[in-house]
Amino acid sequence: MFQSPEYSNILSLKLSEVLEDVGVNEEMVMKRRRVHMLAENIHTVSLKSICENRTVYNFGSQSEGTTTIGLNSDTDILLLDYDYNVIQDWAEWKQNKINLLMIQDEDVTPGYCFLQLLRSDEPLFETIIPDQDYIRDNKGKILLKNTSLTAAGDDAVRHGPSNSILGKEGYNDIDIVFGYPCNSLPQSALHSLDRQSIWRWPISEMIRYAVSNGCFVVGTSSKISTSPELEWRISTSLGERCFMFNTNITQLHCYVLMKIILKTFLTPQRESSLSSFMCKTVVLHCIQNTDGNIWKKNNLFTCLTYCLLELQSYIRNENCPHFIIRVNNLMAGQFTAEGKLDILQKISNIIQSDGRHLLRICIDDFGNRLQAKQHTDRAIPYGMLTPRLINENISVWLFHNLARTIVTSNCPLIILNLLEKQNVNLKQCILKLVNYSVHGSRLEQLASRCLVPFLYSTLGSIMVSSNIRRNTAIQYQALKLLSLGLNSDVTSGRLKLASVLYSVGDMDRAEFILKQTENRYNCDIVEPLCVCWRCPRSNWSAEFKRKCREQNEDCINRITSFCVRFMQTEVNCIPRELQYELKRSTQDDMQHRSYIDKMWMDFAVVDSLPFLYFLQYKVDGNLQRHQDQHEALCNLVITTMSGQNLWHRETALNLIGQCMEQENKPKEAMRCYMLSLQQRERNNAAKFHICNLLRKHLSDI
C-alpha cells in the first residue's frame, strides 16, 4: 500500500487531468453553477409574479458542478413554501401565517423535529385539529404529519421527502423536495459552527452566511425513528452549498472520485446504505480537519486515500456526523452486520490497491483514460470523446435544460395559474417581472428578462383576439406588446406577431415579419427546442455546440427556436387551420394524457419552422403570389417530412393536409392525415379532418 512520494504525485496529476478531461474543470464547474442558479431564479420569480409565496432552489451535484456525464446525477429541486413559518422561538411567530413550532426533545431523533401547530391570529398553541394532515399526540399537542407533502403528477414517484420524476433516456431524474422555511438554525448546529477548526475552515464569512440563511424542514423521518409519520428532517442545504462553492478544484476532484468509487465498487446496485451525501460530508470533515495547503493537484491521491480511511472509520463506528448538525448521525440504522463487513472489506481493497482499482472504473471511460495518461505516447483511445467534445456536450445539456426552464416557467405554468386565479391578471404578472428586472439581484434581473418577452407576446395576442371578437379597433398597446416580445427567442415571438397580422388582414406587414424571421433562422446555428416532450436530442449542429461552449447563458434567445403556443383566449389570432388543435381530444383521449401532455394539449402548439412556411403559404395566397405560395408549400412539406427535430410533426401534417384540400388534392390530404395519426394515435385533430374530408366526399357523390 505504501508507494514513493514521486509515484503518488504522478498518479495525482494524472487523476486530476482525467477528471478535468471529463468535465470536472473550473470552466465547466462555474458554468454548471451559473446555469443552475439562473434556473432557480427563473422558477422563483415566475412563481412570485403570480403571488405564489414560494422559492425554488437547485441543490446537489448538478448545481455544485460535482458530477460527470457518466455519473448521471439527479437534478435536486427544493420548493420552499413561505406561507408556512417554522419557528424555534416565540419571537419568530408571524401573524396570518401557518406557524409551526419546532420540537426537538427526547422523543425525536437528533437532526429531526416534530412540528406543533400554533394559532395564526395570536401566539398560542392550537387546540383544534384542522384537517387530516394533523394529529393530536398523547401530550395533547397538534402535530403536522410529514405525509402532508404528497407527490404531484402522474409521472412522480415518492422517495422519502422527494417526488422523483423519472427521466427518460437522455434526461436525468428530477427529485422535487417540498419543504418549509425556518429563519434560524437549531442550537446544536450553532454549537457545531462555533467550534472553529485550527485550520480555520470554514471561514467566518461562510459561517455567517449559513447562520443567516437558517434551515428548512422536509417531510421524512430517520431510519431509527419511533414516530416515522411525525418526524421532519432539518436541512441546512443553503449552508452546505455555500461550503461546497468555497472549495478548490482538488477538493471537488476528491469528492467526485469518492462518488465514482461509491457507484463503481461500493453500491453498484444502488443500495441505500451509503450515499453521495455521506461522501460529501466525509470530504467536508476532512477539509476542516487538515491544512488547506495539502489540497493540491499533485496530492490528490493522498487526499483521496485520507477520505477513504475516514469513510472506513465512520462505517466501522456506524457514526457519520452531519457537517453542520453534528448530533445527526447520517449512518444511524443504515447497515446490517453483513453489509457493513462487506463494504469495509471493499474499501480496504481499494486503499490497498495503491490506485490499481481506479483502472477498473468504467464510468466516463475513467480507467482507460487514466491508463492512457500513464503512457505519455498514447493518444486518447479510439471511440472516446475528446475533452473539447465533452465540454461541448455538457454546455449543450445545460443550455437545453435552461431553455426548458424558461419555457415551462411561462407556458403553460404561469398562464395556467393565471387562468385559475381570478385576482391575478397577466398585466400584474408582467409588472412584477419588470420590477424584478430593474430592482432585483443580478440573477433576478436576468431571470426576469428571460421570462418577460413571452408574456408580452401572450398578452398582446390576447388583447388583439379580444378586439377581433368585439369587432373593435386593434389597440396600439397590443401591437406594442407584441413588438416587445419579438426577442423571446429566434422565432416564436415573431411568428406570433405574424399570425396576429395575418388574422387582422395586414398581409404586407405579415410578409415582412415572416421574411425577417426566415432570414434570422440560420440552420447552422439555431436549434429548435420544445418542452412538450421529454425526448432526447443528440444531433445538435456543430456551430450550436460551439456557441453553447464559448458563450454565456445570456445568448440562449439568439440560438434557440421554441415551438409556438396559442391559448383558447388567443383563438381569433390563430389561423383557422390551426384552431382545430385547440380541440384535439375526445373525452376518451383525455384519459390517455400523461402529466407532461396535460401541460400543453389544451393549447394549439406547432413547431416554428413548419408554422413559418404555413403562414407564408397563407399570406402569399392572399397577396395572389402563387409562385411564392407554391414554394412555401414545398418548403412546408420538405421540412415536415424530412425535418429531424420536430416535436409536433402530427400538427404540421394536419396543416399540410388542409393546404392540400385547398389545392383540391383530397387524396394527398387524406395521406397526410393518416400519416399524422401514425405519429400520434390519440389526442390528434387528424380524426376530425378525416371525418370532415369523408363527409365532403360523400356529399359530392
User: CA quadruple 205, 209, 212, 216: dihedral positive or negative?
Assistant: negative
What pLDDT shows up at residue 665?
95
> What is the CA angle 39-42-44, rounded to 5?
110
**Who has greater pLDDT, 184 or 148?**
184
Least confident of 179-183, 239-243, 691-695: 691-695
pLDDT value for 530: 85
pLDDT at 225 > cutoff 80? yes
- Write the DSSP string, 442-479: HHHHHHHHHHHHHHHHHHHHHHHHHHHHHT-PPPHHHH
pLDDT bin (cut points 50, 70, 90) of residue 171 is very low
**pLDDT tens-digit profile of 432-475?**
999 999 999 999 999 999 999 999 999 999 999 999 999 999 98
pLDDT band at 348 (very low <50, low <70, confident <90, very high): very high
- C-alpha span between 602 and 613 (Å, rounded): 23
> What percent of the chain has pLDDT above 70?
91
Q: What angle do CA 358, 284, 13 make, to 5 degrees?
A: 35
SS3 readout for 283-342: HHHHHHCCCHHHCCHHHHHHHHHHHHHHHHHHHHHCCCECCCCCCCECCCCCCCHHHHHH
Higher pLDDT, 50 or 70: 70
The fold adopted by the segment(s) 1-24+247-384 is: Poly(a)-polymerase, middle domain (1.10.1410)
Type of residue found at 204: S
pTM above 0.85, yes or no: yes
Q: Are 146 and 220 in contact (CB under 8 A)?
A: yes
Stretch 211-239: mean pLDDT: 94
- 8 A C-beta contact, residue 269 and residue 322: no
- The pLDDT value recorded for residue 165 is 47
Residue 423 pLDDT: 52
In this prediction, residues 226-231 reach a mean pLDDT of 94
Distance CA 341, CA 353 (A): 18
pLDDT at 698: 76
- Alpha-carbon distance of 409 to 418, in angstroms, equals 12
Q: How far apart are the first and last CA of the chain?
A: 91
**Angstrom distances, CA of residue 314 to CA of 69, 197, 212, 234, 340:** 29, 19, 30, 21, 11
Q: What is the pLDDT of residues 609-641, one digit of tens each?
A: 999 999 999 999 999 999 999 999 999 999 999
pLDDT tens figures, 259-295 = 999 999 988 665 568 999 999 999 999 999 999 999 9
Residues 513-529: pLDDT tens digits? 999 999 999 988 999 98
- Domain boundaries, given as residue ranges, for the chain: 1-24+247-384, 72-244, 575-701
pLDDT digits (tens, 9 = 90+) for 546-562: 999 998 888 888 999 99
Confidence of residue 166 (pLDDT cuts 50, 70, 90): very low
Q: What pLDDT digit, counting tens, does each position of 388-444 carry?
A: 999 999 999 999 889 989 988 875 445 655 555 555 577 888 889 999 999 999 999
Query: pLDDT tens digits, residue range 303-333?
Result: 999 999 999 999 999 999 999 999 999 999 9
- DSSP labels, 659-683: HHHHTT-HHHHHHHHHHHHHH-SSS
Q: In Å, how far from its chain's centre is CA 196?
A: 36
Cα 248 off chain centre by: 26
CATH architecture of residue range(s) 575-701 = Alpha Horseshoe (1.25)
Average pLDDT over residues 90-116: 95
Q: Which residues contact 620 (CB under 8 A, 6 or more apart)?
A: 511, 626, 628, 629, 632
In angstroms, the CA 425 to CA 432 distance is 11
Taking residues 160-178, report their average pLDDT: 58
Distance CA 153, CA 595 (A): 6
